[in-house]
Amino acid sequence: MTFALYIGIAIWSRAGSTKEFYVAGGGVSPLANGLATAADWMSAASFISMAGLISFMGYDGTVYLMGWTGGYVLLALLLAPYLRKFGKFTVPDFIGDRYYSNVARTVAVICALLVSFTYVAGQMRGVGVVFSRFLEVDINTGVIIGMVIVLFYAVLGGMKGITYTQVAQYCVLIFAFMVPAIMISFNMTGAIIPQIGMGSTLSDGSGVYLLDKLDGLSRELGFAEYTQGTKSKIDLFAITLALMVGTAGLPHVIVRFFTVKRVKDARMSAGLALFFIAILYTTAPAISVFARTNLIETVSNRDYASVPKWFKNWETTGLLAFDDKNNDGKIQYVADPEVNELKIDNDIMVLANPEIAQLPNWVIALLAAGGLAAALSTAAGLLLVISASVSHDLLKKMILPNISEKGELIAARVSATLAVCVAGYFGINPPGFVAAVVALAFGLAAASFFPAIILGIFYKKMNKEGAVAGMIVGTLLMLFYMIKFKLGWLGAAPSPASEWWFGISPEGFGSVAMLANFIVSLVISAFTPDPPEDVQQIVEEIRLPSGAGEATH
């Protein structure tokens, strides 16, 4: 039903011009844009992976909550209104015009493609996880089915089709996320609101607080207490900052603010989107606690012969595995990797949660539809950024300036098709699980775009030499660190955590690369010529509120 809805909307609102394809004709209402932005923003990482991450990381997982929501505030206050006033279709377009240079535009296109491909790989993986469980196919087939569906409505409808599809997807995903959360909260604590249930006493009459019980269960199994952090303060700070500034530099979220009529609408839709996002983000920690408690109580020390049906269902996907090391037929789920017999993929926690809590089948199906809505809405937004970067910024602005509108629209659709194929490949062969891959995309966005955009808006003396050098240094530094500590060189194992620079993990290194970008940009621009007068004049004007004229006597 939900797929029929998305495809129906795509056919109804298909794009007939490049303006409709890139920015939905610039006539979307603030409410629709707020809903669409929230859906675009809440990806498979938010819906499927984040609560799973917090389930296993406990306190340390809060960096994702703080970084991703805090970054949105940064975006709404510092970037969205000014970029809307500048009036360009894409981030590389802004950087190319603000820094009056095709070299800057090219570097920005490369950065946009790097960020978008890293991010979209995570979405495709999320689609594969959901399909593999609910269509009972292997994860690779799941990814391919997802590719076909995204391709259909992203290529046909462009931004116009995607915007209205995302409004529908937000409604589906938030309903799907909240219904099981409310039901489980009520079953476990008697509280209807999950955020209150998480801090309440259990409804079994014992008077024990839910979090105290989870801490006790974690201690018994040798895990760190759920409410205790294990990461260093500097790493927590660095990851949170990288996620925040990475959010503010994400091209597929920024482009949403070009789809409204006025600057005032851009601010309003940012505020509405933040409210819609907060509903899910404040519920995720509660779901993490419910899922973790239920999981430990259901499987730990249990005879394998008597495990519930959901356990067997997830085993067939390969995302949950039991290896009976001591042949006693019992599941040993403990922190010690030598003794532990249960392997659980973080990404299944949200999807398996209603099954573990024995909720009705329709709730489980609803959650699957919500997970797909989250992954597909973000994947579509990212594919649009990729196709606009290729067709608008590379072809139209640099290679073929005289290309017709029809030719540009065809180029946009062809590049979106190729992008889906590449994204599918990364979904089938992903580097790490969904949220970790997405965290690296944020690091890249922080290291490349954020300083160039901020300095472009707030510092009129910032010139093209400084911006280009800063983006190149920041991006290369982030890629080097990512390969060295996350992926490993050409088949070699990644370097150990004991060698991290300043004790900062790859997920948090975007903060350091961003600082390097700022320093290089400012130092080089101080020793090179100022930007032309007309560019400085534009920078002055985009910060003036609309309607503000000269002071009158």
CATH number for 13: 1.20.1730.10
pLDDT over 50 (residue 551):
no
More confident of the two residues 95 and 550: 95
546 within domain boundaries: no
Mean local confidence (pLDDT), 293-315: 84
Query: What's the total number of domains in the chain?
Result: 1
Domain of residue 148 covers 2-429
237 within domain boundaries: yes
- Comparing CA positions, the residue from 549, 540, 19, 369 lying closest to residue 28 is 19
466 within domain boundaries: no
Coil, helix or strand for 250? Answer: coil
130 within domain boundaries: yes
pLDDT over 90 (residue 193):
yes
Q: What is the pLDDT of residues 11-38, one digit of tens each?
A: 777 666 666 666 655 677 888 888 988 8
Residue 476 CB partners (closer than 8 Å, separation 6+): none
Give the lowest-confidence range in 81-95, 338-352, 353-367.
81-95
At residue 472, φ and ψ (nearest 5 deg) are -65, -45
Distance from chain centroid for Cα 442? 8
Triad 393, 385, 47: Cα angle to 5°: 165
552 within domain boundaries: no
Q: What is the pLDDT of residues 105-139, one digit of tens each?
A: 888 888 788 777 777 777 777 777 777 777 777 87
516 within domain boundaries: no
Q: What is the pLDDT of residues 88-113, one digit of tens each?
A: 667 788 888 888 888 888 888 887 88
Q: What is the pLDDT of residues 201-222, one digit of tens each?
A: 888 888 889 999 999 988 888 8
488 within domain boundaries: no
526 within domain boundaries: no
How many other β-carbons are positioned within 10 Å of the β-carbon of residue 361?
A: 9
C-alpha to C-alpha distance for 261 and 268, rounded to whole angstroms = 11
Distance from chain centroid for Cα 125? 13
pLDDT over 70 (residue 510):
yes
